Structure 1
Amino acid sequence: MHAGPISYPLVERFRSRIGSTEGQRREQALASVRLVLAIGFALYLIWGASLPHTLLVYRAALAYIAYSVLLVLLLVLARATKQEVGLALRLSAHAVDTVWALLIFWFAASPNRGLSPDDVFFIFVLLAAAYRWGLRGTLATSGVWGVLLVAYKILTALGLEHVWPLPAEQSSRFVMQALYLLVAAYVVGYVGEKENHLRANASRIAEAVGKARSETGFRETMQAVMDTLLDLFDTDRAVLAVRQTGSGRAFLWEAERERGTYRTVVQLSELESFQKERYFFPVPGRTFYASRRSMPRQGDQRFQLLVRDAESDHLVNASCSFPDYFLTWHPCSSLLAATVALGEQSEWCGRLFLFDPRIGDRAAKVRLLHDLAEELAPAIYTVYRLRRLRARAVSMERARIARELHDGVIQTLIGI
């Protein structure tokens, strides 16, 4: 039994849409904080801060306030005109903030006090880097600061200390500040990157679950869900095999992206009895990533696996062999797989395979697929049940109308 292909044009790229929205909000939040910090630093200067370069610092503070206001206005205009915040603007803003924090440390900082404006701006720039780019961004920012802060030591080693004369205690303070910033950058960047991953995964899961809508029909729902999975894990082929526990009937949803286009073709077919074990063979875990060995021996069909532990979120390494008939029907060098249960008392069991996904962080993708399957399976089953209930209600209503018509005709004939 074959239902035939279901084809629809691919919607706008999923990740770029989420990235655009999140990037816009991120830059607006950072622009607001930047403006508040700039005004706060100006008030700090007005209310009695004695600095060795007062006039220069005043002018720099006014220029930074003007720059902050201009950036806020640009972002408001971009939001009103629905324009995206480009990478060039983010890099430019981050470069200005990085240099500004360093200038405050050089010209407006004092070594013998507590929290100071330069500390606040250093923290702000690190948080902005973590918010935008994660751990790598914060480490790169602190690396730039570190090179500039220890520049005197580098010049001394090269015999060029006359280019930048500094007291010995001042140069030592710069070196210590560079070390502090490196440690702070790692902590802030690590936490920021984890938070970014959590937010991104939550957005992706919500987007995928939102595709399961009963009003569009079950086949259209499966088309949209499979299309989103191919886009999310950057692959061109996927299959979802489902088997009913009571009757033993099994069905296969196959999704494949047409070459040179963004169209996804989804086919539904019922599996014969000899085909069921092609997809429901023993596996070492519910969710895993499998890849062929880098240098396999001749005839060795074993795959290296990264498996999510069933009892916790830990990932463990394993190896196993897949059946030859599965690899013959679906040749691949790597795959992501998840086993799901649908309905009360596992009325349906299913297994999802994503073939040759182009992914970077394997561990993150395994966790994402596990969380996605946990949220997506109940949503798909709900759509399935609602469509079944609606079909049953329609058939019952038709039977009632037919019965009433039949009884009415009989009554009329008896009366005649």
Structure 2
Amino acid sequence: MAESRRDSPLVDPQYSPQSRAERLIAAARVVLAAFAFLGIWLDPSEPTRYVRTAYALLAVYIGYALLAAFLVWRSAAPPGRQTFAMHAFDLAVFSLFMFFTQGPTSPFFVFFVFSLACGTLRWQWRGTLWTAAATLALFLGMGVYAAQVIGDPAFELNRFIVRSAYLAVVAALLAYLGLYEERRRGEISRLATWPLGAPQEVRSLAREMLEHAAAVLGAPRALLAWEEPEEPGLRLACWSGGELQWSRESPGALQPLVAEPLAGTDLLCRDIRAPRPAVFHTSDQGFRRWEGRPLHPDLAARFGVGAVLALGLKGEGFEGRLFALDKAGMTSDDLVLGGIVARQVVARLDRFYLLQRLQQAAATEERVRLARDLHDGVLQSLTGAALQLETASHLLEEDPGGARQRLAEVQRLIAAEQRDLRSFVQQLKPAPLAPFEVEASLVARLKELAHRMERQWGLRVALDVQPIDGGISEGLSHEIYRMVHEALINTARHAGASTGRVEIAGRDDQVRITVADDGHGFPFHGRYDHAA
């Protein structure tokens, strides 16, 4: 479920920030109504007819504008379904106000332009088209009424035509603006939902990245070419129609991918098959034009390249190119968007290779730890068992009872090592224990270790394990056990001790282990602290 949410768009590309749009419209409505009232007050010759009706209508609209602004700015949510009613009410009032103030020649023609802007803010290009259809129909109706019905002498056909064309041009510009903004929101939404999964294979990663990159850039095909310094040879992954083509080239093949003058730049070419293709590329001074074949001929021929957008890739351990193929009508805007997409691809590949290195390092570290634990644990115990068996072999003829006792000790030793191995294998499993369970298991294992040291080496061990605040992890428990085990083995084998004491205490996110014995030590005197 979480993965599906991640891969789906964060928002509908058709969505526009409604609350901010409504607040802007409400504020503009108040300003427009106030200036309309000011205009009538400064020039009372307008309106010449329906004076009382026009003043009353404007006064009512000013009150409505103030109330709407108060409610919209106070509310945290947009009006919702009431938005359409408010838009229709604005159109109706504007039409009546123009009708009462000289109709198609009214100085308040700007109200219709305001309606177009409101439609664009609310519903983007769709709102612009529907509002334009309504305003043009109303305006044309006023013109027909003024010219044919009442024969208004103030009606001017040329002025009416210019205003109609002006309204249509403004509507077209606003519709294109709404369409452009919707497309930009879609691109941003797709960039924000870039896949974040961690495929185990580079082919799966390439398919995922190329499919999403092609969708963001609007290209039918996408090609990824890159090379790792540790593994010479170009890797090629081409996504087209949901299928991925994969190949690996010999070292030096298809090099350089782009022409030498274009190295280190992002470039686009609308048709590389032209006799002298025009190439636009990035530079420190902005976009520049260059003429010539931008791609390696064999690369262009193999993938049938026509239009191409080539983006440079340079990560921590690789470099290459991302190609968006066959997109018609590319512009410099595609270079800007492509640069963002290229950075996303670099980040994904860097993350993939970093995870690979971390997995390899973790596996190597685990192998080293396993070898150390087997050496310090099982091998040491087998050495002790071998000594016990050798002693038992000497006692078989002279003291059969003593020999049997030694063999019993070896049997107990092997049984104890079996338990240790089971515990070790359990730690390799993914299911962790609770902290208190880990601590209890550690105490039990240390007690068993103390008994074994006494039976095997004749070393009596006293344990003092204090409760550790917050508990301990399985990994830390394992390390504590191995450190105590190694210390006691060294005490028994090299110090000639008969008694030992182990103290374990934890405080302030630290664990203190003290191992003392009554044997002889080394010439070193003092204290050696690994934390120093």
1:304 maps to 2:277: yes
CA displacement, residues 234-269 of structure 1 (integer Å, 9 cap, x when unaligned): 444322111234664432233232xxxxxx344554
Structure 1 gap ranges (5+): 1-10, 77-88, 258-263, 294-299
Distance in 2 between the 1:224 and 1:316 partners?
33
2:283 partner letter: A
Given the two structures, how large is their TM-score scaled by the length of structure 2? Answer: 0.50
- Deviation at residue 385 of structure 1 after TM alignment: 1.3
Larger RCO (alpha carbons 8 Å, 6+ apart)? 1
2:192 partner letter: A
1:203 partner letter: S
Tell which deviates more after alignment, 185-194 or 270-279.
185-194
- Deviation at residue 369 of structure 1 after TM alignment: 1.1
Partner of 1:161: 147
Asked if 2 retains the 8 angstrom alpha-carbon contact of 1:242 and 1:351, the reply is: yes
- Deviation at residue 173 of structure 1 after TM alignment: 8.5
Partner of 1:79: none
Q: Which has the higher Rg, Structure 1 or Structure 2?
A: 2
Distance in 1 between the 2:127 and 2:334 partners?
22
Distance in 2 between the 1:406 and 1:149 partners?
94
SS in 2 for 1:273: coil
CA change 1:335–1:280 in 2 (3 A) is closer
- Deviation at residue 73 of structure 1 after TM alignment: 4.9
Partner of 1:338: 311
CA displacement, residues 359-400 of structure 1 (integer Å, 9 cap, x when unaligned): 455333232112221344234313421332233223322332
Asked if 2 retains the 8 angstrom alpha-carbon contact of 1:305 and 1:319, the reply is: yes
Partner of 1:394: 363
1:348 partner letter: F
Asked if 2 retains the 8 angstrom alpha-carbon contact of 1:289 and 1:306, the reply is: yes
Distance in 1 between the 2:298 and 2:268 partners?
19
Tell which deviates more after alignment, 278-287 or 168-177.
168-177
2:222 partner letter: A
- Please, which of 222, 227, 234 is the counterpart of residue 211 of structure 2? 227
1:414 maps to 2:408: no
- Please, which of 218, 229, 237 is the counterpart of residue 221 of structure 2? 237
CA change 1:325–1:184 in 2 (3 A) is closer
Distance in 2 between the 1:400 and 1:278 partners?
45
Tell which deviates more after alignment, 224-233 or 101-110.
101-110
Structure 2 gap ranges (5+): 42-50, 73-77, 388-532
Asked if 2 retains the 8 angstrom alpha-carbon contact of 1:278 and 1:325, the reply is: no
1:256 partner letter: S
- Deviation at residue 63 of structure 1 after TM alignment: 12
CA displacement, residues 110-137 of structure 1 (integer Å, 9 cap, x when unaligned): 99xxx98x75673353254267546x98
CA displacement, residues 211-243 of structure 1 (integer Å, 9 cap, x when unaligned): 1444x5464443322121232334443221112
Asked if 2 retains the 8 angstrom alpha-carbon contact of 1:150 and 1:171, the reply is: no
Asked if 2 retains the 8 angstrom alpha-carbon contact of 1:97 and 1:125, the reply is: no
1:21 partner letter: D
Partner of 1:122: 113
CA change 1:302–1:339 in 2 (3 A) is farther
CA-atom RMSD in angstroms = 5.5
Asked if 2 retains the 8 angstrom alpha-carbon contact of 1:342 and 1:349, the reply is: yes
CA change 1:303–1:212 in 2 (3 A) is farther
Asked if 1 retains the 8 angstrom alpha-carbon contact of 2:310 and 2:324, the reply is: yes
- Please, which of 188, 191, 196 is the counterpart of residue 202 of structure 1? 188
- Deviation at residue 330 of structure 1 after TM alignment: 0.8
CA displacement, residues 314-372 of structure 1 (integer Å, 9 cap, x when unaligned): 364644264432233111332222112112xxx42111122223x45533323211222
Tell which deviates more after alignment, 222-231 or 282-291.
282-291
Partner of 1:292: 271
Asked if 1 retains the 8 angstrom alpha-carbon contact of 2:307 and 2:325, the reply is: yes
Distance in 1 between the 2:165 and 2:226 partners?
56
1:353 maps to 2:339: no
Distance in 2 between the 1:197 and 1:314 partners?
23
SS in 1 for 2:53: coil
Asked if 2 retains the 8 angstrom alpha-carbon contact of 1:306 and 1:363, the reply is: no
Partner of 1:5: none
1:275 maps to 2:276: no
Given the two structures, how large is their TM-score scaled by the length of structure 1? Answer: 0.61
Alignment of 1:179-198 (within 5 A): 198=184
Partner of 1:256: 240
